[in-house]
Structure 1
Amino acid sequence: MSYKETLLMPKTKFPMKGNLPNKEPERQQQWEEENMYERVQERTKGRPLFVLHDGPPYANGDIHMGHALNKILKDIIVRSKSTMGYHAPYVPGWDTHGLPIETALTKNKKVKRKEMSVAAFRQLCEDYAREQIDRQREQFKRLGVRGDWENPYITLTNEYEAQQINVFGEMAKKGYIYKGKKPVYWSPSSESALAEAEIEYHDKRSPSIYVAFSVKDGKNVLAGDEQFIIWTTTPWTIPANLAITVHPDYTYVVIEEGRQKYIVAEGLLETLKTELEWENPTVLKTIKGRELEQITAVHPLYDRESLIILGEHVTLDAGTGCVHTAPGHGEDDYIVGKQYGLDALCPVDDKGYFTKEAPGFEGLFYDEANKAITEKLEELGALLKLQFITHSYPHDWRTKKPVIFRATAQWFASIENFREDLLQEVRNVKWLPEWGETRLYNMVRDRGDWCISRQRAWGVPIPIFYGEDGEAIINDETIAHVSELFRQHGSNIWFEWETKELLPEGFASEHSPNGTFTREMDIMDVWFDSGSSHQAVLEEREDLVRPADIYLEGSDQYRGWFNSSLSTSVATTGKAPYKAIISHGFALDGKGRKMSKSVGNVVVPNKVMKQLGADILRLWVASVDYQADVRISDDILKQVAEVYRKLRNTFRFMLGNLNDFTPSTDRVAAEELPELERYMLIKLQELVNKVRKGYDDYQFASVYHDLHNFCTIEMSSFYMDIAKDTLYIEAADNKYRRAIQTVMYDTLTALVQLAAPIIPHTAEEVWDFIPETNADHVQLTDMPEHAAVSEDERRLSRKWDQVMAVRDDVLKALEKARNEKVIGKSLTAEIILYPDADWKSLLENAGDLAKLFIVSKAGIGGDKQTAPASAETFEHTAVEVRPAEGETCARCWTVSETVGNDEDHPDLCEKCAEIVKTHYSQV
């Protein structure tokens, strides 16, 4: 007889290897064919609504690791909410307007924009954007992200643009929209104004110069033979200089060095001695800054005056305390210049070249003009010092080239008019991490008015008409009409139709007595596009609602989408568009460096999925502290893959041991379960509670660790190890065996439901093998409910926690005995425990100690004081390990003195012999 055939070994077709790269696409195809998103929505209809509003990624190029991190985090949230009592639709979106698509066509596709109409070029932009959407949509779906992929929101669609026009109109109606000429970030490389959100800072090498301005009229305060010294790192702005600003409360000094008299701030005199290599400057006079007001100086390059004015923005951090002021090239300069009636002179054109308003430098690119201007200043004797410095300088985030401040006529949203409302709404929002509140609060508090116009072709037109007198016309009638036209025909008509065709029929205005109108040809800032999504998506769609429960994006969106959405929503509704903000960090390489193609450290999501599978990538996302910057590398992914392997093996072991278990007939009632099994179900409930809290608090790393620890420690290292003896050796219908299977069934079902939001492909695969589930897909079920642990259960748990502590001691003693060659495997051992008096009854009531400790024989001797010298002593017990007496059973491998007692089965212990004779007589 082969006793091996009498053992109930695990049997399952669930494969050991996941083969995720090949199996996941098949699973996703199944979900698509079964309309899984719609089925989930139908199942949860009527529950409390939970809306995570998708911040639209830009429709250009393959997805990168930041995209994967973002979309997987969102999917984990939406999947968990839909199984925790909510109706959680997910509508993905795309941002489609803006310069990158124009650039992709003109540079990469070699489209000759100048040779076609604006409308024709815009149609090419739309076609390209839709191609990119299709490309990215497939990649996002490959991540396992569940959503309404066939009905996403896209910022170029008619209905979206129509609602965006309504947002603009409402802001204009409230007086928040105005046109003004003031300095804005201007990108010569893009030939367009930029918003603060489109600026990033990089190091730049710039000339640093000190320039002397001779006093023209000292107003009886100065003698007239002095020179003001200014300092600047932008020599190209000197032609636009109209003033020198001093602080009204600072003390200034007239000093004599050599034969020249200079005026500088007293607080910077010592620094300037070193900088300008003054040997022995003599202070001739001290003057308060306010006394210098209205004094005039001579512009060092041109025959015009530079006025001395007062400004609170002057500091003593660097320079001379006398600030070169060009109102056409700086925000502070513009503001203070406006108070003195100074023009916003800007002698630089859209491409960054000097105009005729800068005599002597016309036609020079601004950056190249630095050298020519510096040389001219030196020739005229006005240059005191030239050196070069490397400093942080604003760059266009798209072209990566430097920007300038340039005064142009632009459309603005006046933040000042509703700033306090914005700040109050920031306080009302829940922030994760908490520092996000301070970050956005400070941004809103300190930001200037929002420049919303762009001088490009690909975007939503600014719906402004102009009368014959040049006055802007915008009212409820024009806004409603343009919005409806865009909803019917799309915004391209703005560039195709005549102006009169865009106006309401019979429209008249006092600004155009002859009935002639023109229209604005600038487009809106793309941040106005995406920032209008609360209206164009949350209000437009019947399955969503405003405010959303959550906006979740990268930390760069505090200055981007979080900010623009807040501004447009508060301006139009008085409320924030979101109840909570969650932000995540950036994906870095394994060494914490920014990913770069030139460095060769880019980890590509598509490549990871082809090699390891989406569930490994998703498990990595769950494992990291996503609120900070996160690292990813091949080594890190290997570690995550090892955790996945352990989870999968745990699932497989339980499936294998449930192969002969039918829950409807074999389940053991809860009240009939032995204490150890009840203890494991308590542990399972504690896990359920912890995991649900982790999902509720958006702390997915804790979910990851709790699931991993439970599978590897509570199950693999403890319970499954103990259970093997009973599962394999006892008869199939043995009640204790069925009790273990009952626990394993409930545990496996719960674990799969708990893990499904993170590893949905694997969870569905396991679910297919679990007998008698209550749904054909795990994602069509709810997570186990949170339940309080009763006092009786807590007492039982405390008892078994103590038993587990003794078990740890026993394992240590067995390991030492094995190392000292006292025993071989643990089943060759007999242990005798010598517990403290108050632990003795605990162990006496713990059931079969030999099974618990996986030894052949176990008993309790006296207390710790009576333990032999050979025993290992621990805190609550001493453990004596010695070889078990008897022979090894050929079936259960325990050492027993009963081996040989049965004549028919002399190689078996009495227990195994009885099982074989009773249940396997035909074997």
Structure 2
Amino acid sequence: GLPHYGHILSGTIKDTVTRFYIQQGFSCERRFGWDCHGLPVEYEIDKENNISTRQEVLKMGIGKYNDLCRSIVLKYTHSMGKIVKRMARWVDFQNGYRTMDLKFMESIWYTFAQIYKLKRVYRGFRVMSFSTACSTPLSNFEANLNYKDVSDPSVIVAFPLIQPLNAKQNLVGKTVNLLIWTTTPWTLPSNLGASVHPELEYCIIELNKQYYVILENRLQEYKIFNEAKIIDKIMGSDLIGKQYEPPFDYFQDKFPHLFRVLKNMNVDPNAGTGIIPNSPAFGEEDYNVFLNEGLLKENEELPCLIDDKGVFIGTDFNGMYFKDADKHVIKSLGKKLLCRGDIHHRYPFCWRSDTPLIYKLVPNWFIKISDLQEKLSDLNEEIFWVPAAIKTRFGNWLKCARDWSISRNRFWGTPLPIWSNSTYTKLICISSISELETKGFTISNGQRKKVKITDLHRQFIDDIFIEHDGEILKRVDEVFDCWFESGSMPLAQDHWPFSVIDSIKQENMGNDILENQISKKMSSLNLIEPQPANFIAEGLDQTRGWFYTLHVVSTLLFNRPAFKNIIVNGIVLASDGKKMSKRLKNYPDPMFIADKFGVDALRLYLISSPVVEAENLKFWEKGVEEVFKNLMINWLNCVNFYQETLKSQDYGRIYNSSVFETWITNEIRELTTNIQAKMNIYQLSEILSLSLNFIENLSN
């Protein structure tokens, strides 16, 4: 999309810092970067072409689809370039990098291949937040972007136990029911277990000649239990292992050893009935409960009753969207349904399509980093953060780092360079174009043909095969999550390591020994390592995004931080404190503000506010106007006065020893010293006040 105040803010911070260091005599690379791949681009194409399913993309053809994605990127690239220039950002567009370019993508492959060689890449199954509109899993970062307050059904359902309980009252021949509580009735057809807290006390109640188990302190929360009689009490630990009759029988034959009460230390004693239905295909905690009990193996696949569009398959609810199926599932429960109500709570929605997310067990490719939490945290201590408190926040996130999901089931992105057989038991990872050209081939009329690579997008490589250990391997279906591209950007922007190799070759034409040395270096990681960035800046949300992925990739490959200094900015909000919205039109167009008050006034307004220290800013047009009047006009008046004075008098190169001359020289020296001191520790917000004081003294 086109730049908004968030882009302008981060761009201004970067521009201010790099301009300062150039003035101090440093060389600063000013290349502009374009993030071209990912779900946002695909979603725009899907909307424009009324595409709603993966099958529709395949019918159109991946090549045509990706061409549309490329065209919209180029369209916005041109528009954004004009606005960035209007905002007076001093950058090099001519030599900028784009994540969709061949050289950038090749470096992504090489970076990934080095991590693969470290034996940190694996294919597994994990319950992940999943966008049914986009048919792809989302990262934890993306899943937390769009929570909404919603109303969902709240139901209490009876699960009849098929094994007796020891109770004071003789219950032989009586059916005792577990009372489970859920706000996701659509998960009940996939139910495989029910969990209790072993250390909590439950009670057996009699109600209308039926017997139920519920957490004792939850009885008073439901009017339906006002007439209930407690006949016995039982610890959660005494319920564990008891089998029950599932609400639906879709998996009873396949998993006869399941449908039992399980131990779960995370049961909330202040919610529901104290008994949770577990559907491991649709809940991370549910899945972990089964893992902990040894009833599932890690990365084990489970049958799934809901497809990638969120629609039921293989059940009585075929063709129903999972949220729409709630009422039908509830109706199907019949007499097992004891209580139905509504609950108002926060629920995650897809940040692109604004549709409810589903938590779903999906296959994915991961980079193992959970064992690097301590190393990641230690390296964070070497980074200078502004504001300093974000270092602690980032460090806390690193201490809980999980294995990184790096693949997406999409089309417009850098393809994973993994070739595999159908069972994923034989894998090969390709690190470069030359390696693929050497090992790869296409098949036409039964004949193998060599390949020449001109593009690495899916339509150009999906039909390339590789023979390995006597088997023909095909590339896996996934592309990289664009966050892996972002994390590898310091390397890929310079076509690392291939640019280093090319320069060595040019200096040593025809040296065979050197070629061997290069091959050895390619296989070791002893090539010239890119140095950490002296400075980066982005928004607070990137502590779980770009900052994180940069840090992980650099730690894995080089055992050092990716950057030395960082400014973390907050969010620019509308004047009423709400999120800026094009639909609501609750903020002025940045171009209007720039034309009315000048770009310098807008830039100074932004960097002089607490927003450059991770605080949020309510954008106030009057604030830009005040900067324009108090600083810009006074400064220009001083400059104009000086220029007019020079025109009216003939000044030679003279030395003036007057008190005024000494004063103004000292004022300039003091201003310069103070600004340098603040800029050296990245305290941008104090620059405006220093400048205002100087202009005030100068003009009066």
TM-score bucket of the superposed structures, by smaller chain: 0.7 to 0.9
Counterpart of 2:699 (choices 716, 740, 746) is 716
1:682 corresponds in structure 2 to: 666
Matched, 1:462 2:462: no
SS at 1:657's partner residue? Answer: helix
2:66 corresponds in structure 1 to: 122
| CA distance in structure 2 between the aligned counterparts of 1:465 and 1:227, rounded to whole angstroms | 51
Cα contact 2:534–2:564 (8 A) shared by 1: yes
> 1:537-686 to 2 correspondence within 5 Å?
537=493, 540=496, 545-626=530-611, 627=613, 628-643=615-630, 644-660=632-648, 664-668=652-656, 672-674=657-659, 676-686=660-670
The Cα shift of 1:244 comes to 0.8
| CA distance in structure 2 between the aligned counterparts of 1:162 and 1:605, rounded to whole angstroms | 37
2:264 corresponds in structure 1 to: 311
Matched, 1:287 2:247: no
1:302 corresponds in structure 2 to: 249
| CA distance in structure 2 between the aligned counterparts of 1:242 and 1:677, rounded to whole angstroms | 86
| CA distance in structure 2 between the aligned counterparts of 1:393 and 1:216, rounded to whole angstroms | 35
Cα contact 1:119–1:496 (8 A) shared by 2: no
Deviations 1:658-695 (A, max 9, x none): 43566652332xxx333x54234333322222121222
2:322 corresponds in structure 1 to: 366
SS at 2:262's partner residue? Answer: strand
SS at 2:180's partner residue? Answer: strand
2:468 corresponds in structure 1 to: 508
> 1:335-374 to 2 correspondence within 5 Å?
335-339=288-292, 340-342=294-296, 344-356=302-314, 359-374=315-330
The Cα shift of 1:180 comes to 1.6
| CA distance in structure 2 between the aligned counterparts of 1:706 and 1:281, rounded to whole angstroms | 73
1:97 corresponds in structure 2 to: 37
Matched, 1:491 2:453: no
Deviations 1:783-838 (A, max 9, x none): xxxxxxxxxxxxxxxxxxxxxxxxxxxxxxxxxxxxxxxxxxxxxxxxxxxxxxxx
Cα contact 2:177–2:211 (8 A) shared by 1: yes
Counterpart of 1:149 (choices 93, 115, 137) is 93
Distance change (3 Å), C-alpha of 1:352 and 1:178: same
1:177 corresponds in structure 2 to: 121
SS at 2:690's partner residue? Answer: helix
The Cα shift of 1:473 comes to 0.4
Counterpart of 1:517 (choices 461, 473, 491) is 473
Distance change (3 Å), C-alpha of 1:115 and 1:344: closer
SS at 2:280's partner residue? Answer: coil
SS at 1:556's partner residue? Answer: helix
Cα contact 1:92–1:153 (8 A) shared by 2: yes
Distance change (3 Å), C-alpha of 1:600 and 1:85: same
Cα contact 1:158–1:487 (8 A) shared by 2: no
The Cα shift of 1:258 comes to 4.3
Partner letter of residue 87 of structure 1? S
Partner letter of residue 464 of structure 2? T
| CA distance in structure 1 between the aligned counterparts of 2:432 and 2:160, rounded to whole angstroms | 55
Distance change (3 Å), C-alpha of 1:448 and 1:322: farther
The Cα shift of 1:349 comes to 0.3
1:85 corresponds in structure 2 to: 25
Matched, 1:423 2:370: no
| CA distance in structure 2 between the aligned counterparts of 1:650 and 1:565, rounded to whole angstroms | 45
Distance change (3 Å), C-alpha of 1:108 and 1:325: same
Cα contact 2:109–2:430 (8 A) shared by 1: no
| CA distance in structure 1 between the aligned counterparts of 2:346 and 2:110, rounded to whole angstroms | 39
Partner letter of residue 75 of structure 2? E
Distance change (3 Å), C-alpha of 1:217 and 1:581: farther
| CA distance in structure 2 between the aligned counterparts of 1:483 and 1:575, rounded to whole angstroms | 33
Partner letter of residue 574 of structure 2? D
2:337 corresponds in structure 1 to: 383
| CA distance in structure 1 between the aligned counterparts of 2:308 and 2:604, rounded to whole angstroms | 49
The Cα shift of 1:330 comes to 0.8
The Cα shift of 1:474 comes to 2.5
1:159 corresponds in structure 2 to: 103
> 1:499-898 to 2 correspondence within 5 Å?
499-500=464-465, 503=466, 507-509=467-469, 513=470, 515-537=471-493, 540=496, 545-626=530-611, 627=613, 628-643=615-630, 644-660=632-648, 664-668=652-656, 672-674=657-659, 676-712=660-696, 714-717=697-700
Matched, 1:195 2:160: no
Cα contact 2:62–2:459 (8 A) shared by 1: no
Distance change (3 Å), C-alpha of 1:273 and 1:468: closer
| CA distance in structure 2 between the aligned counterparts of 1:618 and 1:499, rounded to whole angstroms | 50
SS at 1:428's partner residue? Answer: coil
Deviations 1:210-264 (A, max 9, x none): 2121111137589663221221111101111101111232232223344333222
SS at 2:679's partner residue? Answer: helix
The Cα shift of 1:208 comes to 1.3
SS at 1:227's partner residue? Answer: strand
Equivalent pairs counted in the alignment come to 636
The Cα shift of 1:650 comes to 2.4
| CA distance in structure 2 between the aligned counterparts of 1:650 and 1:122, rounded to whole angstroms | 55
| CA distance in structure 2 between the aligned counterparts of 1:489 and 1:317, rounded to whole angstroms | 60
| CA distance in structure 1 between the aligned counterparts of 2:227 and 2:369, rounded to whole angstroms | 50
| CA distance in structure 1 between the aligned counterparts of 2:679 and 2:123, rounded to whole angstroms | 47
The Cα shift of 1:494 comes to 5.8
| CA distance in structure 2 between the aligned counterparts of 1:699 and 1:173, rounded to whole angstroms | 42
Distance change (3 Å), C-alpha of 1:63 and 1:544: farther
SS at 1:180's partner residue? Answer: strand
| CA distance in structure 2 between the aligned counterparts of 1:600 and 1:402, rounded to whole angstroms | 25
| CA distance in structure 1 between the aligned counterparts of 2:229 and 2:417, rounded to whole angstroms | 62
Cα contact 1:206–1:389 (8 A) shared by 2: yes
Distance change (3 Å), C-alpha of 1:171 and 1:663: farther
SS at 1:297's partner residue? Answer: coil
| CA distance in structure 1 between the aligned counterparts of 2:430 and 2:464, rounded to whole angstroms | 18
Distance change (3 Å), C-alpha of 1:483 and 1:186: farther
Distance change (3 Å), C-alpha of 1:544 and 1:137: farther
| CA distance in structure 1 between the aligned counterparts of 2:23 and 2:676, rounded to whole angstroms | 10
SS at 1:210's partner residue? Answer: strand
Counterpart of 2:391 (choices 422, 428, 437) is 437
| CA distance in structure 2 between the aligned counterparts of 1:154 and 1:129, rounded to whole angstroms | 10
| CA distance in structure 1 between the aligned counterparts of 2:26 and 2:115, rounded to whole angstroms | 34
| CA distance in structure 1 between the aligned counterparts of 2:463 and 2:40, rounded to whole angstroms | 28
Partner letter of residue 301 of structure 1? F
Partner letter of residue 233 of structure 2? T
Cα contact 1:181–1:344 (8 A) shared by 2: no
SS at 1:665's partner residue? Answer: coil
Partner letter of residue 180 of structure 2? I
SS at 1:592's partner residue? Answer: coil
The Cα shift of 1:475 comes to 4.4
1:72 corresponds in structure 2 to: 12
Counterpart of 2:225 (choices 269, 272, 278) is 278
The Cα shift of 1:275 comes to 2.4
| CA distance in structure 2 between the aligned counterparts of 1:450 and 1:707, rounded to whole angstroms | 46
The Cα shift of 1:530 comes to 1.2
| CA distance in structure 2 between the aligned counterparts of 1:480 and 1:232, rounded to whole angstroms | 55
Q: Which moved more, 1:516-525 or 1:313-322?
A: 313-322
TM-score, normalised with respect to structure 1: 0.65
Distance change (3 Å), C-alpha of 1:487 and 1:282: farther
Distance change (3 Å), C-alpha of 1:472 and 1:522: farther
SS at 1:355's partner residue? Answer: coil
2:161 corresponds in structure 1 to: 215
- Give RMSD over aligned pairs: 2.7
Cα contact 1:539–1:545 (8 A) shared by 2: no
Q: Which runs of 5+ in 2 are unaligned?
A: 253-257, 441-450, 501-527
| CA distance in structure 1 between the aligned counterparts of 2:284 and 2:426, rounded to whole angstroms | 25
Partner letter of residue 293 of structure 1? I
SS at 2:323's partner residue? Answer: helix
TM-score, normalised with respect to structure 2: 0.85
